[in-house]
């Protein structure tokens, strides 16, 4: 799960400094009960013990029901370390040191798959039904028509709001459902006037919100060829101007750190939060606010032809490496993350790991009313939102594009000419691409 999007890419580790022991390899074995325990062991690299690692541990239990000799060797590997190891192994030709399975942030998938295709196994002809996942999410791990990853956690965007604050201002959450950003700002001004609270907060100098705005309208920072489309991007310009209006109106406040961002909505400073669905875990840390929150879809950009109320931020996908026991690793992922509603029902309550797996949204667990959210079955709602999210072209230089747009937004908020700022951002990315 990706809780902070804008991590800088760490410097490459020297191959000699990597401790890459206990990595699996070899020929794919049969998965019947006659195989030895050694043959049924897979090594996994992932991060976050309470989320991704917990999910893998539960998936192991599900698979062991039919394959009692199966075992996972899960290596806790922070994302920055995992990324550095992958690059080092690819550049040194030591792909035999790869684990069987590793987790990949969705926004980094295209970058890695295009630059280092030798790290990935092709899952296109596996029996995984990729139609059971939102197309926008599957597209992150699809390169040249080949499926190279299995979607895991959801980055579907939500607008979470304090219903008690809205009521004080004379509104309900329905008044903020299926509206445009102009309507949101107008109503947000009323909320601030009557309650003293802005509607939202955002990290200063970061482009999360603007990125979600443009994706909601089917636009991207790059085209299908991986070329930057930052300058002369009318949807991006509209999003940047909307962000500036949010700040200028006082409906949105900018904060300086991730901790301040979390604090702003759990400590009664703002009325709500717009972020990937994984933010729900942070919202629910404010136990004294149970029953006072609700979730809805996000506002749509005004006067944009393809504008929708759906977007995403974050998420990740599992990869079967080129060094894997491919048959076993693929069958394990298919049988758990790829088709088991029982598995998703198990991990949801404890970890808040919301599925991209569409059939999970129909399960009783996903449709269970959530007391914290006033009895709303938010998890089923989020799965439905995810099916409507437009695809986003990321390409190799996506993080560089986000960074350049973030710098442009800072200038625009301070009064710089928006078109000129975006033109400079385009030039920055083009320079880095050279």
**DSSP characters for 254-317?**
EESSHHHHHHHHHTTSSSEEEEEGGGHHHHTT-GGGTTSEEEEPPPBPTT-TT--S--B---EE
**Neighbouring residues of 243: CB distance < 8 A, sequence distance ≥ 6:** 202, 209, 210, 213, 252, 409, 412, 413
What is the average per-residue pLDDT within 74-82?
96
Calpha distance 426→206 (Å, rounded): 16
| pTM of the predicted model as reported, rounded to 2 decimal places | 0.87
Q: Is the pLDDT confidence value at 34 over 80?
A: no
DSSP one-letter code for 51: I
Specify the pLDDT at position 434.
86
Calpha distance 73→366 (Å, rounded): 29
**Neighbouring residues of 165: CB distance < 8 A, sequence distance ≥ 6:** 191, 195, 197, 271
More confident: 27 or 167 = 167
Calpha distance 335→381 (Å, rounded): 25
Q: Name the residue with tokens 């006033």.
A: 374
Specify the pLDDT at position 38.
56
What is the average per-residue pLDDT within 78-101?
96
pLDDT over 90, % of the chain = 88
pLDDT in tens, 286-316: 999 999 999 999 999 999 999 999 999 999 9
Specify the pLDDT at position 146.
97
Specify the pLDDT at position 11.
36
- Beta-sheet strand order (sheet of 157-162): 272-276, 157-162, 293-296
Q: Which residues pair with 255 in a beta bridge?
A: 203
pLDDT in tens, 190-205: 999 999 999 999 999 9
What is the average per-residue pLDDT within 275-290?
93
> What ranges make up the beta strands (E) of 39-82?
41-46, 71-76
What is the average per-residue pLDDT within 271-282?
94
| All domains in the chain, ordered by first residue | 15-155+314-365 (3.40.190.10), 157-311+392-433 (3.40.190.10)
Q: Encoding tokens for residue 210?
A: 């603007």
Local structure of 181: helix, strand or coil:
helix
pLDDT in tens, 252-273: 999 999 999 999 999 999 999 9
pLDDT in tens, 339-396: 999 999 999 988 888 989 999 999 999 999 999 999 999 999 999 999 999 999 998 9
DSSP one-letter code for 50: I
Local structure of 363: helix, strand or coil:
coil
Q: Is the pLDDT confidence value at 33 over 50?
A: no
Specify the pLDDT at position 5.
39
Specify the pLDDT at position 352.
84
Per-residue confidence at 23, pLDDT binned at 50, 70, 90?
Answer: very low
């Amino acid at each position: 799960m990706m809780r902070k999007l804008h991590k800088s890419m760490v410097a490459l580790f020297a191959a000699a400094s990597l401790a890459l022991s206990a990595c699996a390899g070899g020929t794919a074995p049969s998965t019947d009960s006659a195989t030895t325990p050694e043959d049924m062991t897979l090594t996994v690299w992932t991060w976050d013990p309470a989320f991704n690692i917990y999910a893998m541990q539960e998936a192991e239990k599900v698979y062991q029901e039919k394959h009692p000799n199966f075992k996972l060797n899960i290596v806790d590997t922070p994302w920055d370390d995992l990324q550095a190891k992958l690059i080092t192994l690819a550049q040194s030709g030591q792909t035999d040191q790869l684990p069987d399975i590793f987790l990949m942030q969705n926004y980094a998938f295209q970058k890695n798959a295009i630059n280092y295709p030798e790290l990935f196994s092709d899952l296109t002809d596996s029996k995984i039904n990729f139609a059971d996942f939102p197309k926008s999410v599957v597209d992150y791990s699809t390169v040249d028509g080949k499926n190279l990853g299995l979607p895991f956690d959801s980055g579907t965007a939500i607008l979470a709001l304090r219903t008690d604050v809205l009521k004080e201002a004379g509104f309900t959450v329905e008044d903020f459902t299926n509206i445009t950003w102009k309507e949101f700002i107008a109503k947000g001004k009323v909320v601030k006037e009557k309650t003293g609270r802005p509607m939202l907060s955002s990290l200063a100098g970061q482009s999360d919100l603007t990125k979600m705005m443009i994706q909601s309208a089917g636009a991207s920072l790059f085209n299908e060829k991986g070329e930057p489309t930052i300058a002369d991007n009318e949807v991006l310009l509209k999003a940047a101007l909307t962000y500036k209006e949010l700040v200028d109106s006082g409906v949105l406040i900018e904060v300086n750190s991730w901790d301040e961002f979390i604090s702003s909505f759990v400590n009664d400073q703002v009325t709500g939060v717009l972020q990937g669905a994984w933010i729900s875990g942070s919202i629910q840390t404010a136990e004294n606010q149970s029953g006072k929150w609700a979730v809805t879809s996000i506002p749509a950009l005004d006067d944009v032809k393809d504008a929708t109320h759906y977007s995403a931020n974050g998420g990740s996908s599992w990869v079967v490496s080129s060094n894997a026991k491919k048959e076993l690793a693929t069958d394990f992922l298919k049988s758990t993350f790829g088709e088991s509603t029982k598995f998703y029902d198990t991990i949801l309550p404890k970890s808040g790991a919301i599925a991209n797996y569409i059939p999970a949204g129909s399960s009783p667990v996903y449709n269970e009313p959530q007391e914290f959210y006033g009895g709303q079955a938010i998890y089923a709602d989020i799965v439905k939102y995810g099916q409507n999210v437009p695809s986003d072209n990321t390409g190799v230089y996506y993080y560089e594009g986000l960074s350049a747009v973030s710098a442009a937004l800072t200038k625009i908020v301070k009064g710089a000419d928006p078109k000129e700022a975006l033109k400079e951002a385009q030039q920055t990315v083009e320079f880095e691409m050279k």
